[in-house]
């Protein structure tokens, strides 16, 4: 049996569960309820521009926070003993073993007006915070749920960097800041780009977090698409058009990031 035939089950799986849904979305996006070709679905999306802007803005902020928090954690973790690394990796992955919905519900009980956060603030004599049903609550939910997807890729890349490179740089007179800026950061860039992709893409299309922690008052693209397929405003053709445009915008963002990453790696390789 030729080896090429072994890929047939995988190719069939991709065709059935990846390619076919995209084709269906594409057909729905460019057709009306009676099946005639039309661009009306795309022309009708102008009224949803604030939702697009909000989704990308909140996803960008959440991704940036994940980088600021996740990169130092990944770097510190990579420098610990192997036994401690395994323990901390397990602790980072442990919440991911629970239901995404349950984790989000837990944050509802923490952030609500009579929740654990405000009880703690009241106990120490500080005023209560109105966090639930705000954009801040949505960002907190995104950061909590997607932070492991930023830490793990960065950690896996930094952990593989040869320590002798750091020693060589220090022997040549580089201080800690120079070693980080000219050596560690460029070499860890693939992990950062992977983490950004793994955080930004689900963040921009989330709908459970915005519904539960945002109270449904801060619509995002995921909410908008769900409304077109399952809500009272049933219009799968408009929903498919929105999904297609969102997918195209995400691909453009990822493409730009990869180009920037390739530029940085080329500059590092040339000694720039």
pLDDT of residue 139: 96
pLDDT confidence bin for 166, thresholds 50/70/90: confident
CATH number assigned to the domain covering 48-269: 1.10.3720.10
* Whole-angstrom distance, CA of residue 65 vs CA of residue 49: 24
* Whole-angstrom distance, CA of residue 138 vs CA of residue 10: 37
Summarize pLDDT for 11-54 with one digit per residue, the tens. Answer: 888 888 888 999 999 999 999 988 899 999 999 888 999 999 99
The DSSP H or E segment spanning 236 is: helix 236-269
C-alpha distances in angstroms, 11 versus 5, 21, 64, 120, 189? 10, 15, 36, 54, 31
- DSSP of 20-75: HHHHHHHHHHTB-TTS-B-SHHHHGGGGGHHHHHHHHHHHHHHHHHHHHHHHHHHH
Summarize pLDDT for 245-261 with one digit per residue, the tens. Answer: 988 988 888 888 777 76
The answer to whether the beta carbons of residues 21 and 247 sit under 8 Å apart is no
pTM of the model: 0.87
Percentage of the chain beyond pLDDT 70 is 94
Summarize pLDDT for 207-244 with one digit per residue, the tens. Answer: 889 999 998 888 899 999 988 988 777 899 999 999 99
In the chain, what are the domain boundaries?
Answer: 48-269
């Amino acid at each position: 049996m030729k080896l090429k035939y072994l890929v047939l089950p995988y190719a069939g799986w991709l065709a059935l569960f990846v390619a076919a849904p995209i084709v269906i979305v594409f057909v729905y996006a460019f057709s009306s309820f009676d099946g005639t070709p039309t661009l009306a679905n795309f022309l009708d999306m102008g009224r949803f521009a604030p939702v697009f802007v909000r989704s990308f803005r909140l996803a960008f902020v959440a991704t940036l926070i994940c980088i600021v928090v996740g990169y130092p954690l990944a770097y510190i973790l990579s420098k610990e003993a192997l036994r401690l690394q395994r323990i901390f990796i397990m602790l980072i992955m442990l919440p991911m073993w629970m239901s995404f919905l349950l984790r989000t519900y837990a944050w509802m009980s923490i952030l609500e007006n009579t929740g654990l956060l405000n009880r703690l603030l009241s106990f120490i004599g500080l005023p209560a915070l109105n966090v639930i049903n705000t954009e801040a609550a949505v960002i907190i939910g995104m950061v909590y749920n997607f932070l492991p997807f930023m830490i793990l890729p960065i950690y896996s890349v930094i952990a593989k960097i040869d320590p002798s490179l750091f020693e060589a740089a220090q022997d040549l007179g580089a201080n800690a800041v120079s070693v980080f800026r000219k050596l560690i950061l460029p070499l860890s860039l693939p992990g950062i780009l992977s983490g950004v992709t793994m955080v930004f893409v689900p963040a921009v299309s989330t709908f459970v977090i915005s519904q539960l922690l945002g109270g449904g008052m801060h619509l995002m693209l995921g909410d908008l698409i769900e409304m077109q397929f399952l809500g009272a405003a049933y219009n799968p053709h408009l929903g498919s058009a929105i999904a297609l445009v969102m997918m195209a915008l995400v691909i453009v963002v990822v493409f730009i990031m990869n180009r920037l990453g390739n530029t940085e790696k080329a500059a590092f390789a040339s000694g720039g």
